[in-house]
Amino acid sequence: MKNEQDANIKDNINGDINDNPILKKMYWVMRRNYIVRLLLIYMFPLILLVVYFQYQYNGLLTKSREHHLMSAAEGQSRILDIFIKERINNIINLIDNPSLSYPISSQELNKMFEKLHKDSDAFIDLGYLDTTSIQKGYAGPLQFLEKKYYKKEKWYDELINTNERYVITDIYLGLRKTPHFTIGAKIIINKKTIIFKTSLDPQKIYNYMTSLEKSKDIHILIVNNSGYYQLAPTEVGKPMKLSFYIPNKSLNIGIKETKDSRFYAFSWLASLNWAVIVKEKEDTVKSYFNLKIEIIIASIIFIAFLFFVIIYRSKNIVKVEKEKDMVLLQFEQASKLATVGELAAGIAHEIGNPLNIIANEVGIMQDYSNPKFKSTKTLQDMNPHYKKIISAVYRIKDINKKLLTFVSQKDNELREYNLNDLIEDLVSGFFEREMKVDNIEIIRKLNHNIPTILTDSNQLRQVLINLLTNAHDAIKPSGKITISTNANTDNIYIAVSDTGSGISQDKLRKIFLPFYTTKPVGKGTGLGLSVSYSIIKNLGGTITVDSKPGLGTTFTIILPVKR
Amino acid sequence: MNSMYENIQLLIVDDELDFLDTITERMELRGFVVTKAPNGEAALEAVKTKKYDIAILDLKMPGLDGKKVLEILKREHTNIEVVILTADGSSDVAEETSKLGAFCVITKPIDIEKLISVIILAYESRLKKDSGFLKQDFEIVS
């Protein structure tokens, strides 16, 4: 039975919390605030961190890509340099032969070419010409080149006019229609300048360069001084075509980023005016791009996850708050009932007495009509008795009304109230008579200039009842309770002072704790002051206590004027 | 029938004057000799001048309350029987007042027949006490 009742109360309160639009809005605002707060606390730094991380990671990635490309360009150019220097050495060593005599027999020339070819299979052929610029001898696969006139060739002029022993041409197609380049080297035999020329196939060294493990993810391009491809993979360009990019000639080595975030690194060769350009393959670019996207997606997923956690958490927090409020409401309800219980003796007295009067008045009228008592009373004489009955009935009705306004849950809302009126109603309705019977004088010191206040009258009434009941219980055998109101610009003050026994310092500290009571068993629940405290706190105010043992206690409620 | 109750000296103490007047009239109709006291002080004043058999005493009164009056009556006039009238019918009231020596507690609103029967019982008890008192005196003398 009792559990059923509890469940009912709980249901009612549940309903109150979920249906009340003000509460609903309050919880919504509470949740929104929690979300904003959690977002600010967790999300904001996290997003900053993620952005920072992205920025740093991209920088690092770019640096590493640049570094990788530049070192690749440098490495490749070095390989090519070494290759070319070796070939020059091969040819110089070959022709610096003291036993060499002019003219050179084709047998001798073939021998020399064989030697050369043994050094490197990049050598295609070997020929020689004199200052007449006509090829005098030739060893190699293209016999038709013999007797060819080379005067028109640029390299020939260059070699004749230079102090260097050799010249190296750019790559050209020439008569044989395959890309090759030529090294020309000169030697003076018997005061006669002899020029050897050898063609080299660059494809082999290029194949070697591109086949290296570290060249796997890059394209290697070789351009000449004027930016024409010397060697290039077919998907990028053809030899002799103008390069998409002409490296800066003032730098030995450099890097460039294009608008679509592709990187090119270049390195000029030491041995001739060629540059190696290294370019990331599209797959590599794509894999870097994908990596970036993956990290962004992971960050977004992480942030979204956290966001949902925050949303969920805020929901939970509000749920916990709701439950807390519900417990508080139940607690208040319980304390209200407890307060009613504490008032019960007073109420019984207030109702019992008029009932007693009615019963007696009816009784005496019965007596008058009883022949046993031989009454000579007329109907006229009944009038005072009727009046007494009526006044007793109204006394009960009055108490009933006051009692209902106190227990009523209905107008549990904020409205403008004049606290003086509220106090006046409460004191004259409930307490004055009971207090008088117990020899307690209630003194009102109400400041009639206090402003009205937006508050919950039921809750405030409950607090005042608690304070007055406590004051009543503290006074033995007789004394005074003073209720005063006052206000300044910010606050309204309600003070309830008694001339009772007072509260010692150690008890004063525990006075607002739930279930703390000094009243005899069955008299107090220990809920009144703790609930009063939470009520006043909920109304935006505070409640303080000041007590001198033996002299009395003053409770002061401070409520803000504007909420 | 009046003669039945004429010997019983009643003191009724209650601050509810409407009730006090009416109950007095009803008791007088039934032949009791009744003195009214509207408060504790008046009751204590009354017992100084006259000997009462039974006091009907309200508990909650301004000034001296019922319990105080009961205490004083029982201390200073040992043989008076006190019937407590109260609107609060809780058991601790009965316990407390009976400890203080009340004859019994009647809850308001009162039923006059019940009140009278209680008064008679109280009066009998009072008479017994009187004889006991005499006996005691006698024993002391002998």
Nearest CA-CA distance, residue B92 and chain A, Å: 11
Q: What is the pLDDT of residues A426-442, one digit of tens each?
A: 888 778 877 887 888 99
The partner residues of B10 in beta bridges, in order of sequence, read B34, B54
pTM over 0.80: no
What A413-417 contacts at long range (C-beta under 8 Å, 24+ apart), as own/partner pairs, is A413/A22, A413/A456, A414/A454, A414/A455, A414/A456, A415/A454, A415/A455, A415/A457, A416/A452, A416/A453, A416/A454, A417/A452, A417/A453, A417/A454, A417/A455, A417/A457, A417/A460
Nearest CA-CA distance, residue B127 and chain A, Å: 28
A485: left (phi over 0), alpha (psi -120 to 50) or beta: beta
Residue A248 pLDDT greater than 90, yes or no? no
Nearest to A349 among B29, B63, B88 (CB): B88
The average confidence (pLDDT) of chain A is: 84
Q: Closest Cα partner for A115 from A143, A98, A92, A131?
A: A92
Residue A469 to residues A340, A466, A526, B90: CA-CA distances in angstroms? 11, 5, 12, 19
Nearest CA-CA distance, residue B48 and chain A, Å: 24
Class of domain A84-204: alpha beta
Tally the domains of chain B: 1
Residue B136 pLDDT greater than 70, yes or no? no
Residue A379 pLDDT greater than 70, yes or no? yes
Q: What is the pLDDT of residues A326-339, one digit of tens each?
A: 877 777 667 666 66
Contact A352 B23 (CB under 8 A): no
Residue A16 pLDDT greater than 90, yes or no? no
Least confident of A75-79, A197-201, A347-351: A347-351
B45 in a structural domain: yes
Sign of the alpha-carbon dihedral angle for A315, A316, A319, A324: negative
Q: What is the pLDDT of residues B41-88, one digit of tens each?
A: 999 999 999 989 999 999 888 888 899 999 999 998 878 999 999 887
Q: How far apart, in whole angstroms, are the C-alpha atoms of residue A63 and residue A55?
A: 12
Is the CB of A388 inside 8 Å of chain B's CB atoms?
yes
Nearest chain B residue to A371 by CA: give it.
B29
Residue type, A525: T
Contact A437 B65 (CB under 8 A): yes
Contact B62 A356 (CB under 8 A): no
Domain A334-560 part of CATH 3.30.1390.20: no
State the residue range of the domain holding B50.
9-132
Residue A518 near residue A468, CB atoms below 8 Å? no
pLDDT band of B2, cuts 50, 70, 90: very low
Substitution target from A342, A355, A357 for chain B, most B beta carbons within 10 A: A357
The pLDDT of residue B89 = 67
The CATH number of whichever domain residue B52 belongs to comes to 3.40.50.2300
- CB contact set of B51 (below 8 Å; sequence gap of 6+): B9
Radius of gyration, CA atoms only, chain A: 55
The pLDDT of residue B141 = 41
Under DSSP, the state recorded for A41 is I
Residue ranges per structural domain of chain A: 84-204, 334-560
Is the CB of A355 inside 8 Å of chain B's CB atoms?
yes
Q: Which residues of A touch B90 (CB under 8 A)?
A: 345, 348
Residue A290 near residue A282, CB atoms below 8 Å? no
The pLDDT of residue A272 = 87
Q: What is the pLDDT of residues A144-179, one digit of tens each?
A: 666 777 777 788 888 888 888 899 988 888 777 788
Grouping H, G, I as helix, E, B as strand and the rest as coil, residue A455 is strand
Give the rounded percent of residues in chain A with a pLDDT score beyond 90: 27
CB pairs under 8 A between A and B: 81
Contact B65 A357 (CB under 8 A): no
The pLDDT of residue B139 = 47
Nearest to A356 among B26, B65, B110 (CB): B110
Is the CB of A360 inside 8 Å of chain B's CB atoms?
yes
B142 in a structural domain: no
What is the mean predicted confidence (pLDDT) over A24-36? 85
B95 in a structural domain: yes
pLDDT band of B137, cuts 50, 70, 90: very low
Chain B residues whose C-beta sits inside 8 Å of any chain A C-beta:
15-16, 18-19, 22-23, 25-26, 29-30, 60-63, 65, 68, 86-90, 92, 107-112
Q: How far apart, in whole angstroms, are the C-alpha atoms of residue B40 and residue A50?
A: 86
pLDDT band of B115, cuts 50, 70, 90: very high
Nearest chain B residue to A358 by CA: give it.
B109
Residue A2 pLDDT greater than 50, yes or no? no
Cα–Cα–Cα angle for A226, A182, A275, rounded to 5 degrees? 35
B21 in a structural domain: yes
Residue A69 near residue A278, CB atoms below 8 Å? yes
What is the mean predicted confidence (pLDDT) over A238-251? 84
Residue A217 near residue A285, CB atoms below 8 Å? no
Give the rounded percent of residues in chain A with a pLDDT score beyond 70: 89
Q: How far apart, in whole angstroms, are the C-alpha atoms of residue A142 and residue A138?
A: 8
B38 in a structural domain: yes
